[in-house]
Amino acid sequence: MATFQKLPSGNWRALIRRKGKYASESFRRRHDAELWALETERRVDRRESVSVNRPTHIKTFGDLIDLHIRDMHEVKKPLRRSKAYTLQKLKERLGKTAFETVNREELIDYGRQRAREGARPVTLSSELSYINTIITHAAAVHGITVSKEQVDLARVALRRLGLIGRGVERDRRPTQSELDKIIKCLENNSRQQIPVDRIVRFAVATGMRQAEICRLRWADIDEDRRTVIVRDRKDPRKKDGNHQRVPLIDLTGFDAWAILQEQKIAYPKIKLIFPYNERSVGTAFRRTCKSLGIEDLHFHDLRHEATSRLFEAGLPIERVALVTGHKDWKMLRRYTHLKPELLFSDSVLPTHNAS
């Protein structure tokens, strides 16, 4: 049973005693105190904790998103670009919805709408995971309970409708002829200020991602060992501080060390080895492929190509992983697309001249 006391300050204090639980909170208005008491009694009935100091201003799902972002900043874990973008999109679509009313039907409608807009199953699956993350964070950190069951049911329904699922593993490998055409076109483009041709060669030589290449520092080069430190390498288990020392080798048809010497001559006094915006690199690559009529080739496919070439060169799994940074075979396998015809070759190391 809840009781209400008017304090000398004019505020109202609500006290509840229910099923052996006790809680109290002060409010400016009695109406707010009554709402808090009603919700707190419901939490007791659901056997939830009433000791957590819940933010009283949280009303909508957008508020839950803001709360999550704020908490991540407080613990020095700011959102990365992809997560920040997804949460912003979720806030635009679901932000004004009262968080208590986020249910299966609304999430299914959201999924159908996103699918009509062109969202792929893996994208929508990721968005559902972020919704689950926001709800779990609110419950665990702030005692704000939203039914996860509704999200789980929506996920089952969207999966049965074929709207969410795992991404299709790409097996697209550029031929040597395609790579030669891309590199030559980029070299001869007088309007292209960024040496994307050199970056493409370096990507195939090392298997590094666009962002990793554009973060490399001259100070992290070890000339004696011919290695470079790749900082904050992508890892689902450790997103920050995952620094790896990577060998700069010549096993894929492109010499990583020689490419760096070319870059050093062109840009001798710059802190970063490739001081360019990663998105600009990707845009130049896509435009070049389009101009050459090369279809369905992404810059990230160069990482697949590099990994496959390292295996084709005869390196064992553990040595390939030293170059690519993979922590286990399951992840490394996704980037490996060996050519069946190599099994019938007398030589393990291919020439990479076939088109």
pLDDT digits (tens, 9 = 90+) for 113-135: 999 998 889 899 999 999 999 99
Q: Do 205 and 303 touch, CB atoms closer than 8 A?
A: no
3-class secondary structure, 15 = strand
pLDDT of the residue at 327: 74
In three-state secondary structure terms, 139 is helix
| Average pLDDT per 10 consecutive residues for the chain, totaling 355 residues | 86 84 82 86 76 68 92 82 88 88 90 91 92 88 78 93 78 92 94 93 96 94 95 69 89 96 84 93 96 95 92 88 81 65 50 47
pLDDT at 335: 62
pLDDT at 349: 46
Report strand pairing: 227-230 vs 221-222: antiparallel
Residue among 48, 51, 15, 46 nearest 33 (CA)? 15
Q: DSSP 3-state assignment of 241?
A: coil
Residue 238 confidence (pLDDT) = 56
The CB-based long-range contact list for 77-86 (8 Å cut-off, 24+ gap) reads 77/240, 80/239, 83/130, 86/126, 86/127, 86/130
Q: Give a three-class secondary structure readout of 58-74.
A: CCEHHHHHHHHHHHHHH
User: Considering the entire predicted model, what is its pTM?
Assistant: 0.64
Buried b (16+ CB within 10 A) or exposed e, 285-319: beebbeeeebeebebebbbbbbbbbbbbbebeeeb
Alpha helices of the chain — where are they, by DSSP H?
Answer: 30-45, 61-74, 81-94, 104-116, 121-142, 148-160, 176-187, 196-206, 210-215, 256-266, 278-292, 301-312, 317-324, 329-333
The predicted pLDDT at position 59 comes to 85
Which tokens hold the place of 294?
Answer: 């090369």
pLDDT score, position 255: 97
Backbone φ and ψ of 316, nearest 5°? -75, 170
Residue 128 DSSP symbol? H
Using alpha carbons, list the distances in angstroms from residue 76 to 72, 132, 198, 240: 6, 22, 35, 11
* Strand order through the sheet with 2-6: 2-6, 12-18, 21-27
Q: Is 244 helix (H, G, I), strand (E, B) or coil?
A: strand
Whole-number Å distance between alpha carbons of 185 and 178: 11
Helix, coil or strand: residue 142: helix
| Pick from 122, 111, 206, 118: nearest CA to 150 | 111
Amino acid at 143: G
Distance CA 235, CA 233 (A): 6
Q: What separation in angstroms does the CA of 89 have from each of 82, 140, 153, 162? A: 11, 24, 22, 22
pLDDT at residue 69, rounded to an integer = 92
Residues 6+ apart with CB under 8 A from 216: 228, 230, 272, 273, 274
